Amino acid sequence: MVRSYRMIALCLTLFALTLLSFAGSAPSVGTMAPEFTLNSQEGTPVSLKDFRGKWVVLYFYPKDFTSGCTIEAHNFQRDLAQYEQKNVVILGVSVDSADSHKQFCAKEGLNFKLLADTDHKVSSAYDSLTNFGLVKVAARHTFIINPEGKVVKVYTEVKPNEHSAEVLSALAELQK
């Protein structure tokens, strides 16, 4: 009987370790940011490589027109001049369509690129895809990418109200 329990425990442990080995992991600090090309709200393709030589704040958010996502976008927009002074580009990514992004930008007065990851490939590559009920959405994660294309800061716990100020503060340290 004890032998059976040990065997079950061993099988469960091996099963859990197997699941963990298949779990995605976000690009870590010091690694090259995964390349991608996605359509913007204008319907034009935007590639990460287009921004080599600039700092990039790549932020993933769940859904256009929702309260937290609107707050986060407004704060990035409010601080856009500060980002531009630091040679930083803001790129927002969600699984919404380019048309949804276009409407969201128009309604909310957003002047930075929102990218449509409708096939979830980029969100998956950045381990930023989560379930919201029966629907997959982008998780609220942010990656700061340096001008050489390396990830230099990762945020997986994002509070929309404070996030832009938090990112600006990190950039001030990173750019010293």
Distance CA 105, CA 90 (A): 13
Distance CA 150, CA 43 (A): 27
H-type alpha helices, the chain: 2-22, 67-78, 80-85, 98-108, 121-125, 163-174
Q: Which of 58, 69, 90, 144 is catalytic?
A: 69
| 105 labelled catalytic | no
Distance CA 12, CA 72 (A): 41
Q: In what order do the strands lie in the sheet with 141-145?
A: 45-47, 37-40, 113-116, 88-94, 55-60, 141-145, 151-155
Active site (catalytic) residues:
69
